[in-house]
Chains A and B, each alone.
Chain A
């Protein structure tokens, strides 16, 4: 009878922090990122492009990323995407499943080992059938806020962003349109954090592409008309900082939900219910990022 012997590597280096780990480990013992990413990068023979989705808690990172991955898997636009491993599908499955049930997906826990990670091979047919390996984690907004406030609280975030080829910065356009400075300040904090991470000299701008995505556009449809003008008006601090420090930056509007209902829960909280989905502007920021990678 034929037998097969699988020899496990004695050590494996984390794709995110390069720490050496036991060959059998599932997550990195230093930054807690999944080691399957490193295994797959090894198989492909090249480091993937890491694209990070940033934003405050409850801004819609999970929903945006879930829908983006789902659209890529459905060959939206001129993209063809192949998920590498079943774990890459968990996020989009969860998001689609929950929205189909007219609920938003659960909050992403701040514990790094509970984040969803997606590893996709994406082919851009409009760009000479160029294939890119993409790694996209769904980070918790709380973890991002904590890391920005006190760097190294979550080591993985800093290390991930240093390796990122591009960033999607999500801002709650609905709240910003109401005149709240909160989204503007949080976006500004994230951008200054990025600026410090890349630590380029004052006269040089950060070359990594940053797509500022005005989320929840269904709350303020006017942001779709001219996202740049919307940002200049409602996110002036962010706008100014982008102009000063980032060489490749663009503004987009996006929304996933077509219409919302509102109910009160048992604790009298007002809860929004996604009645149906009508994704709009999901793919454009990604297209722009891929173009500038």
Chain B
């Protein structure tokens, strides 16, 4: 029997924001671009998944809760994991006929399970309560990148693929399912409202997750949006490893990273006593007096308060490197600094670049974010270079050279501001600039012989421009410059240089001027 009812309905509690949807799509595209190794990281290639049904049925194999049907790809160990984590009798927070719940967790095999549970009629043994029906999909860890590692996006794809129907007489073997990555929706404004109504508690909850601890959040009124807001607030790298349950009665055996429940708070507090699990009840929450939210949490809180959901989703998608809470705080500080780039001095911008590198005390923010921030900073530095004095440009140029040599961010990003700075100086100190550039290129090659000329094209072009406009003071100057330039296969225009020298030293022209 296939009932029209779906296993659960976690559709957004509110209207769809088209603008946000577009922003989310663009954010997703960026993330997929950064996960080039993921099989489903690009395009709309459907994601394959196995299926499982876990419920209470009378069958030849016995009665009671058990895996009633599964795809052939499931291993016995995976089945055992799903059995242990799936809700059985009285496992849903609500006792009503339309109660539902969700669980999203890793299996011992490395794959991930997304399970929807719902009440499906009366418990057939007549022992009271509703039968709990759970339908789950199992997908490879890397395939989740196609959904931004967001269980709600996966859930919607699962619903769209028709993998959520309640089947109380399922075939023993379920087929492999196909999920469309493009079916995601964005967080509606009600999710922001949910955060803002209990902002201090939600901020503390986010801090707990950022610190890698397990959390039980008692969100009786609006559990789905509470879950949604916390998931949307996590850096995408942390989201990838965060397991979630929502609306399932709390059980120690099913304790995941984030547990959203509507349980009796007294029972929960008693059960969690002495356990390394934090319990937060927004209705009875008193932030610790000495507690200060980290930079990431503050940044997220501001975005929710100002309703900048698309911006938040964009930012969280940028944080793709794994890290600690301190690393995420450093990333948030970078994001905040990015917003005030216009007010930053050249020295501060160079310092920002330095922090992107993996050097001493530096913050390893990951290549994707480093490129994103680095390109913005480099762009701003290039703009600033035009208004710098010669001395300031020289100083900034030499500092950027360090960044270039040590590759704090991609050299191709640094070349533009470096060249912009040096061009401010080249008119007054052409030989110094040439010596500097040639030395820099040679050092770069010494550090990394694999550097290709194409990467250094802006610097090569600078040398060519210097060569074409070079006016020597005497023959020795011309010879020194020529010798320098030849090391990078740039040649002085001999006739022009000879002309310059002839003009300067008229009457003393030799028969043959060899430069």
| Residues of A bordering B, CB below 8 Å | 21-27, 29, 32, 56-58, 103-114, 140-142, 145-146, 149-150, 152-154, 182, 186, 265-267, 269-273
Q: Please name all residues of chain A whose beta carbon is closer than 8 Å to the beta carbon of B63 when the two chains form the complex.
A: 56-58
Interface size class of B (residues with CB under 8 A): 35 or more
Decide if B62 touches A186 in the complex (CB within 8 Å). yes
Q: Please name all residues of chain A whose beta carbon is closer than 8 Å to the beta carbon of B122 when the two chains form the complex.
A: 265-267, 269
* B contact patch SS: loop
A-contact 0/1 string along B113-133, CB 8 Å cutoff? 000000001111111110000
> A186: nearest residue on chain B (CB-CB)?
B62
24 cross-chain CB contacts under 8 A: A22-B274, A22-B275, A23-B274, A25-B273, A106-B127, A106-B128, A107-B123, A109-B88, A109-B91, A111-B251, A114-B251, A140-B88, A142-B64, A146-B66, A146-B84, A150-B76, A150-B77, A150-B79, A152-B80, A153-B80, A153-B84, A154-B84, A186-B62, A269-B126
Q: Please name all residues of chain A whose beta carbon is closer than 8 Å to the beta carbon of B344 when the two chains form the complex.
A: none
7 new A-B contacts, CB < 8 A, other than A29-B275, A110-B65, are A26-B270, A57-B65, A103-B128, A140-B88, A145-B66, A150-B77, A153-B83
On whether A112 and B253 interact (CB within 8 A), knowing A104-B127, A153-B80, the answer reads yes
Q: Please name all residues of chain A whose beta carbon is closer than 8 Å to the beta carbon of B124 when the two chains form the complex.
A: 267, 269
> A271: nearest residue on chain B (CB-CB)?
B126
Q: Which of B64, B80, B128 contacts A58 (CB 8 A)?
A: B64
Q: Please name all residues of chain A whose beta carbon is closer than 8 Å to the beta carbon of B77 when the two chains form the complex.
A: 150
Decide if B253 touches A142 in the complex (CB within 8 Å). no
Q: In the bound complex, how far is the Cα of B274 from the Cα of A24, in angstroms?
A: 5
Q: In the bound complex, how far is the Cα of B83 from the Cα of A267, in angstroms?
A: 26
Q: Please name all residues of chain B whose beta carbon is closer than 8 Å to the beta carbon of A24 when the two chains form the complex.
A: 273-274
Q: In the bound complex, how far is the Cα of B357 from the Cα of A149, in angstroms?
A: 52
| Residues of B bordering A, CB below 8 Å | 60, 62-66, 76-77, 79-80, 83-84, 88-91, 121-129, 249, 251-254, 270-271, 273-276
Q: Write the nearest CB–CB distance from B56 to chain A, whole angstroms.
A: 8
A-B complex: 3 closest residue pairs judged by Cβ atoms: A57-B64, A25-B274, A271-B126
Decide if B62 touches A57 in the complex (CB within 8 Å). yes
Q: In the bound complex, how far is the Cα of B129 from the Cα of A269, in angstroms?
A: 13
Q: In the bound complex, how far is the Cα of B249 from the Cα of A31, in angstroms?
A: 18
Q: Please name all residues of chain A whose beta carbon is closer than 8 Å to the beta carbon of B123 when the two chains form the complex.
A: 107
Q: In the bound complex, how far is the Cα of B84 from the Cα of A140, in angstroms?
A: 12
Q: Write the nearest CB–CB distance from B103 to chain A, whole angstroms.
A: 13
> B125: nearest residue on chain A (CB-CB)?
A58
Q: Please name all residues of chain B whose beta carbon is closer than 8 Å to the beta carbon of A270 when the two chains form the complex.
A: 126
Q: Please name all residues of chain B whose beta carbon is closer than 8 Å to the beta carbon of A113 when the two chains form the complex.
A: 251-253, 271
Decide if B252 touches A29 in the complex (CB within 8 Å). yes
